[in-house]
Amino acid sequence: MTPADHTPTPSSDTERIARGLRGGDRIVLSRAITLIESKRADHRGSAAALMQALLPDTGKAVRVGITGAPGVGKSTLIDALGSMLTTNARKVAVLAVDPSSRRTGGSILADKTRMARLANEPNAFIRPSPSSGTLGGVAARTRETMLLCEVAGYDVVLVETIGVGQSEIAVADMTDFFLVLALPGAGDELQALKKGVVELADMIAVTKADGDNIARAKLAASQFSAALHILSPRSPHWSPPVVTCSALTGEGIEALWSHILDHRQRLTASGELAGHRGEQQVKWMWTMLEERLFEPLRSDRALKSSLPRIEADVAAGRLAPSAAVEKIAAMLARA
| Cβ atoms within 10 Å, residue 217 | 23
Of 244, 229, 92, whose CA–CA distance to 182 is shortest?
244
Q: Does 35 sit near ligand GDP (CB under 6 A)? A: no
Smallest distance from ligand GDP to CB 42, Å: 37
Please say which residue, 119 or 248, places its beta carbon nearer to ligand GDP.
248
Smallest distance from ligand GDP to CB 189, Å: 18
Smallest distance from ligand GDP to CB 258, Å: 18
Task: Let me know how long the chain is.
Answer: 335
Please say which residue, 32 or 109, places its beta carbon nearer to ligand GDP.
109
Please name the amino acid found at residue 57: D
Q: Which residues are paired to 242 by β-bridges?
A: 204
CB-based contacts of 47, cutoff 8 Å, min separation 6: 35, 36, 38, 144
Smallest distance from ligand GDP to CB 162, Å: 8
Q: Does 163 sit near ligand GDP (CB under 6 A)? A: no
- Strands 177-182 and 156-162, sheet pairing: unpaired
Q: Does 129 sit near ligand GDP (CB under 6 A)? A: no
- Strands 124-126 and 92-97, sheet pairing: parallel
Structural contact between residues 43 and 147, judged by C-beta atoms closer than 8 angstroms: no
Please say which residue, 248 or 297, places its beta carbon nearer to ligand GDP.
248
In whole angstroms, give the CA distance from residue 176 to residue 195: 20
Please say which residue, 71 or 321, places its beta carbon nearer to ligand GDP.
71
Which residues in 10-25 are b (16+ Cβ under 10 Å) and which e?
Answer: beeebeebbebbeeee
Q: Is the dihedral of CA 269, 273, 274, 276 positive or negative?
A: positive
In whole angstroms, give the CA distance from residue 168 to residue 328: 31
Please say which residue, 192 or 248, places its beta carbon nearer to ligand GDP.
248
Q: Does 83 sit near ligand GDP (CB under 6 A)? A: no
List the x/- string, 42-71, binding to ligand GDP by CB under 6 A: --------------------------x-xx
| Member of 127, 208, 259, 263 binding ligand GDP (CB under 6 A) | 208
| Member of 46, 67, 75, 161 binding ligand GDP (CB under 6 A) | 75
How many residues touch ligand GDP under the rule CB under 6 A: the total is 15
In whole angstroms, give the CA distance from residue 37 to residue 131: 10
Q: Does 252 sit near ligand GDP (CB under 6 A)? A: no
| Member of 62, 96, 247, 267 binding ligand GDP (CB under 6 A) | 247
Structural contact between residues 152 and 165, judged by C-beta atoms closer than 8 angstroms: no
Binding to ligand GDP, residues 98-127 (CB under 6 A): 114
Please say which residue, 49 or 115, places its beta carbon nearer to ligand GDP.
115
Please name the amino acid found at residue 240: P
Which stretch in 20-28, 243-251, 275-283, 292-300 sits in contact with ligand GDP by CB under 6 A?
Answer: 243-251
Q: In the complex, which residues of this chain contact ligand GDP (CB under 6 A)?
A: 68, 70-76, 114, 207-208, 210, 246-248
